[in-house]
Amino acid sequence: MYLHDPASPTPRAARPATTHASGVLWAPQGGWASAAGSLKRLMDQHGSAALCLVHLDASGLQRVQELVGSDSGEMVLAELVSRAARASQAGPWIALMVARVGRHEFVALFGADSAHLGVDDLLKVMGRPIDGAVLGSDALLTLGCAFAPPGQPTDLVANARAALEVARLRGPGSGLVFDPSRTELYCRTERMEGLLATAIKTRVGLSIDYQPVVARADVPGGPGYTLHAVEALARWRCAELGKVSPAEFIPVAESAGLISPLGRQVMDGACNFFKVLERLPGAPVLLSVNVSAAQLTHMGVVADFVGIVRTAGLWPKQVQLEITESIAVRGLRARDLLCAFKAAGFRIALDDFGTGYSSLAYLNELPIDTVKIDRSFVSEMESSPYHRAIVESTIRLAAVLGLDTTAEGVETEFQAEVLTELGCKHLQGSLFSMPLSEPAMRLWLAGVALRGLQTGKDPHTDRNGQV
């Protein structure tokens, strides 16, 4: 079972991988029961060294087995043993053991004088797909890895296994190193990925709030505001985790490959609700929906979105896609996609403008209609001449280029006045309303039809727009 015989004095004395054929280097059918005992013994024995446990899942192996008609696990194990030996010869990590612990699962334990040194090389060697020449068809390896500093190997097995679980959620071929400084977040993220996947599948706990975007207008009694658009914002109330902010679950959805189904649901739900709003007095003219870069991976999304919009009885020109600057810097494919969305009739807004890879050049280069000035600039405008100057120059440049501007996070009358004076057409923020649930949005609209659009905090709603 051992690549390195635990009885031998130093790991460097590990026998070459070729000897695995003798049957002493690994236990092909041993499973966890026998591997766990050996692992523990080795960890105790090498407690003064840094340890690294790699837990591998040979995805696709089942398919290979079906094709080849035999148990290819042994071939994978032999390949892993020789990889471990190669890694031992090249870097500071010495293979202590390689074992098969399940039908498609393997572990490899390494020891070194100091943790993390040369670990990228180690993982690169261990995680490469097993090439078709060995198995008749490529088998992708998914990999979870954990380190233990000298003398503290306690959670190594559990941590490597947890890392593998998350890597599996990310898809075959992924690798993840357990980060002990982020244990809480890591476990939460891990749980969240599974729970979010279930929520998307069952449609339980996910909803959409709508935040008004207003336009300055002459209304009865003098200058005031009318409703221009609503921005759809995803919400998730999870039975286990409680209310989770989109600032937390959207990045999780993106990294777990869940953003496309989630984004489709948001687009679908928002279009259907917008159709309901359309029939009410004072209805908005535009529906704004946030789109992540990770959703724009293939041209098919354009037809997909057109289909959703048309099925709901709307036209693409009624829908604005809010993208961030990170999409803008993603290169040609994203640009082509944005052009295709424009050609299909959608409006495009550049969200959170001023943050990230901010470049005024994007305003000219990308097919956008609206610039959304980030909340951080609006909130600092009163106290910081620098922020005010950025807001001012953005609005001016946008006007020269024929683009609209929307200011986000408008919280005070003063900000609204200054922004309007500077020529900002559309305003959004708690001064008008925080995001509202569907029933609250209907009530808000009915109130506007009755009393006009009031600024300031509505006594009937809290900051989250809950009635």
Binding site for ligand C2E (CB under 6 A): 211, 233-234, 245-247, 250, 263, 266, 290-292, 322, 351-352, 408-409, 411, 429-430, 434-435
Give backbone dihedrals phi and psi of 434, rounded to 5 degrees, phi first.
-75, 170
As measured in angstroms, the least distance from the Cβ of 293 to ligand C2E is 9
Sheet holding 50-59, edge to edge: 94-100, 105-112, 50-59, 140-148, 175-177
The C-alpha atoms of residue 145 and residue 271 are separated, in whole angstroms, by 43
As measured in angstroms, the least distance from the Cβ of 412 to Ca ion is 18
| Of residues 97 and 328, the one with the C-beta less far from ligand C2E | 328
Give backbone dihedrals phi and psi of 51, rounded to 5 degrees, phi first.
-120, 150
User: Do the strands 140-148 and 50-59 form a parallel or antiparallel pair, or are they unpaired?
Assistant: antiparallel
**Binding partner of 266, given ligand C2E, Ca ion, none, CB within 5-8 angstroms per partner class:** ligand C2E
Cβ 319 vs Cβ 344: under 8 Å: no
| Of residues 165 and 411, the one with the C-beta less far from ligand C2E | 411
As measured in angstroms, the least distance from the Cβ of 73 to ligand C2E is 41
| Of residues 173 and 261, the one with the C-beta less far from ligand C2E | 261
| Of residues 325 and 408, the one with the C-beta less far from ligand C2E | 408
As measured in angstroms, the least distance from the Cβ of 68 to Ca ion is 51
**Binding partner of 429, given ligand C2E, Ca ion, none, CB within 5-8 angstroms per partner class:** ligand C2E
Q: For residue 189, give every residue at least 6 positions away whose Cβ sits within 8 Å of its Cβ, in sequence order, or none.
A: 166, 252
| Of residues 137 and 430, the one with the C-beta less far from ligand C2E | 430
As measured in angstroms, the least distance from the Cβ of 372 to Ca ion is 5
What are 219's strand-pairing partners? Answer: 222
The residue whose two tokens read 């159709």 is 275
DSSP-based three-state secondary structure for 148: strand
Q: What share of the chain is helix, strand, coil (3-state, %, to 5)?
A: 45, 20, 30
| Of residues 122 and 391, the one with the C-beta less far from ligand C2E | 391
CA proximity to 158, closest of 36, 331, 68, 57: 36
Structure tokens at 443: 């009530």
| Of residues 152 and 466, the one with the C-beta less far from ligand C2E | 466
As measured in angstroms, the least distance from the Cβ of 374 to Ca ion is 6
Could you write out the DSSP letters of every residue in 384-430? -HHHHHHHHHHHHHHHHTT-EEEE----SHHHHHHHHHHT--EE-ST
As measured in angstroms, the least distance from the Cβ of 186 to Ca ion is 28
As measured in angstroms, the least distance from the Cβ of 250 to ligand C2E is 4
The total of other beta-carbon atoms located within 10 Å of residue 359's CB is: 12
Task: Give 390's Cβ-side CA count (13 Å radius).
Answer: 22
As measured in angstroms, the least distance from the Cβ of 265 to Ca ion is 17
Strands annotated E in 15-161:
50-59, 94-100, 105-112, 140-148
The C-alpha atoms of residue 253 and residue 263 are separated, in whole angstroms, by 10
CA quadruple 218, 222, 224, 226: dihedral positive or negative?
negative
C-alpha triplet 222, 226, 228: angle, nearest 5°: 150
**Binding partner of 404, given ligand C2E, Ca ion, none, CB within 5-8 angstroms per partner class:** none
What's the alpha-carbon Rg for the chain, to the nearest Å? 28
| Of residues 352 and 404, the one with the C-beta less far from Ca ion | 352
**Binding partner of 175, given ligand C2E, Ca ion, none, CB within 5-8 angstroms per partner class:** none
| Of residues 112 and 252, the one with the C-beta less far from ligand C2E | 252
Cβ 403 vs Cβ 383: under 8 Å: no
Task: Give 244's Cβ-side CA count (13 Å radius).
Answer: 23
| Of residues 78 and 252, the one with the C-beta less far from ligand C2E | 252
As measured in angstroms, the least distance from the Cβ of 363 to Ca ion is 16
As measured in angstroms, the least distance from the Cβ of 256 to ligand C2E is 14
| Of residues 61 and 407, the one with the C-beta less far from ligand C2E | 407
Residues at the site binding Ca ion, with contacts judged by CB under 5 A = 290, 322, 351-352, 408
Structure tokens at 238: 């999870």
Cβ 393 vs Cβ 444: under 8 Å: no
